[in-house]
Chains A and B, each alone.
Chain A
Amino acid sequence: MTISSNQRLLISFFIFAIALLLQFRATDLVGLNVNFALATVLTLAFFVRFIDVIFLSLFGVVALTWRPGFTPEMATFLGLPLAAYAVRLFFPGKLWLNHILLTACGIVLFHLASGFSLFTSHLGSITVDTIGSTLVGALLFQLLDRLYAKT
């Protein structure tokens, strides 16, 4: 059975929707600050078409936006999946390693964008977020890699 690009997008959209719901309830559900949404969209960028990456990023920004205007957080949320797609395109060897590095750096960059003073004063929380998000992304990456490798 072959999974077409459109089916990949549908699967990705479904996974991303779950990640967004988890993001809204992250602290209540797991008691930890984990960036489910960013980790998921970065991972999905390794498996879908360029246009799908743009679509998913925009959908994420629209769903997560909490205030009028464009914020550094949202710019990072839009830019990082595109970076992930570029990594996939130009550095195709050892994608899993590239993915882990990109997710970890992406989460750190996201926190830097949201406020430098917060970044320096809450290194502990940010470390937990980085490790948790990278783990979530790595698990999803392995799952999707096996799913698509079999088809």
Chain B
Amino acid sequence: MKREQLVYGILIFVFVFLFITQPALLNHIEDRFLRSPNSADTAIEKLQAENDVLKAEHARFESIVSELGPLPKEGILADVYSRYPFSLKHELLVGAGALRGVAVGDAVAFAGVLVGEVREAFRDSALVRTILDERWASAVRVGTRGVDALLVGGAEPRLTLIVKDADVRTGDIVYNAAPAFPLGMPVGRIASVMLSPDGLFQEATLSVGYDINKLHAVSIVTKSSMKQP
């Protein structure tokens, strides 16, 4: 019995020690054993994301070219360590932190498409809130006509407060209009359009060209890189 208790004691000590001192190691273990990367899927998603970037740039040039500077092309590359494992919140821990210049509020992208923003920056890692998080809300524009809308996060992100008579169609590109992130950065495409429950506005569902639960790496666009011409 005493030997059994000793074994338990050692096991508990090891877990507590690892939990406190090595969160990144544990996240690597999770990454190694619990995820199933699919390179073909990732390649297709990257191509689709690049396509979205081109479409967003085209839409941006057509609508508001005089207002904007160029989109930042590169960011700080970071591995995705772990994800919030419960419902409602959608957060990622990524492997770049304050040491590499990451700060709260920085935009996070996958192949140039906006994925989320940094909510907390640690020394070697950062916590990212994605657009699938129920608390996400940001200004966006739709298509070459630059129709204003509000992106509301959730398992199925949607666009709200679209003016009732605005010409918004399925397949239109959606790009960022919030000043906190690079203006014109693509977010996704319109999947379907409908009237809001009160009948005063249009609403739309958003389709992103990647599976956010399979992302293995993202790039972080810092505020300083946004200011550079």
Interface residues of A (CB under 8 A from B): 6, 21, 23-24, 26-28, 33-35, 37, 51, 54-55, 58-59, 61-68, 73, 110-111, 114-115, 117-118, 121-122, 125-126, 129
CB–CB B82/A67 < 8 A? yes
B174 part of interface (Cβ distance < 8 Å):
no
B74 to chain A, nearest CB (A): 26
Residues 73-92 of B contacting A (Cβ, < 8 Å): 82-89, 91
Given contacts A33-B87, A68-B23, 5 further A-B contacts (CB under 8 A): A24-B85, A62-B19, A67-B93, A67-B127, A121-B134
Residues 3-39 of B contacting A (Cβ, < 8 Å): 4-5, 8, 11-12, 15-16, 18-19, 23, 26-27, 30, 34
CB–CB A73/B86 < 8 A? yes
B214 to chain A, nearest CB (A): 10
A-contact 0/1 string along B110-135, CB 8 Å cutoff: 00000000001010010100000011
B224 part of interface (Cβ distance < 8 Å):
no
Supposing A55-B12, A62-B18, A122-B134 touch, asked if A68 and B91 sit within 8 A by C-beta, the answer is: no
Closest to A34 in B: B87
A125 to chain B, nearest CB (A): 6
Supposing A59-B15, A62-B19, A122-B134 touch, asked if A68 and B125 sit within 8 A by C-beta, the answer is: yes
B163 part of interface (Cβ distance < 8 Å):
no
13 residue pairs from A and B, CB less than 8 Å apart: A26-B87, A27-B87, A27-B155, A33-B86, A37-B85, A54-B12, A58-B16, A62-B15, A67-B127, A117-B135, A118-B88, A118-B89, A121-B134
B66 part of interface (Cβ distance < 8 Å):
no
Closest to B83 in A: A66
Supposing A114-B86, A118-B134 touch, asked if A28 and B91 sit within 8 A by C-beta, the answer is: no
CA distance A126 to B87 in the complex (A): 9
CB–CB B82/A55 < 8 A? no
Select B213's contact among A21, A28, A61, beta carbons within 8 Å: A28
CA distance A6 to B1 in the complex (A): 11
Select B88's contact among A37, A54, A63, A114, beta carbons within 8 Å: A114
CB–CB A68/B122 < 8 A? yes
CB–CB A35/B89 < 8 A? no
Select A23's contact among B8, B12, B85, beta carbons within 8 Å: B85
CA distance A34 to B87 in the complex (A): 8
CA distance A62 to B122 in the complex (A): 19
CA distance A115 to B86 in the complex (A): 13
Supposing A55-B11, A58-B12 touch, asked if A24 and B34 sit within 8 A by C-beta, the answer is: yes
CB–CB A51/B26 < 8 A? no
Supposing A28-B213, A55-B11, A68-B122 touch, asked if A125 and B87 sit within 8 A by C-beta, the answer is: yes
Select A129's contact among B87, B134, B213, beta carbons within 8 Å: B87
Q: For residue B87, which residues in chain A have a CB less than 8 angstroms away from its CB? A: 26-27, 33-35, 125, 129
CA distance A73 to B30 in the complex (A): 19
CB–CB A114/B85 < 8 A? no
Closest to B97 in A: A68
CA distance A73 to B120 in the complex (A): 17
A-contact 0/1 string along B45-88, CB 8 Å cutoff: 00000000000000000000000000000000000001111111
Q: For residue A26, which residues in chain B have a CB less than 8 angstroms away from its CB? A: 87
Q: For residue A23, which residues in chain B have a CB less than 8 angstroms away from its CB? A: 85-86
Supposing A21-B34, A122-B134 touch, asked if A67 and B23 sit within 8 A by C-beta, the answer is: yes
CB–CB B15/A64 < 8 A? no
CB–CB B127/A51 < 8 A? no
Supposing A55-B12, A66-B91 touch, asked if A35 and B86 sit within 8 A by C-beta, the answer is: yes
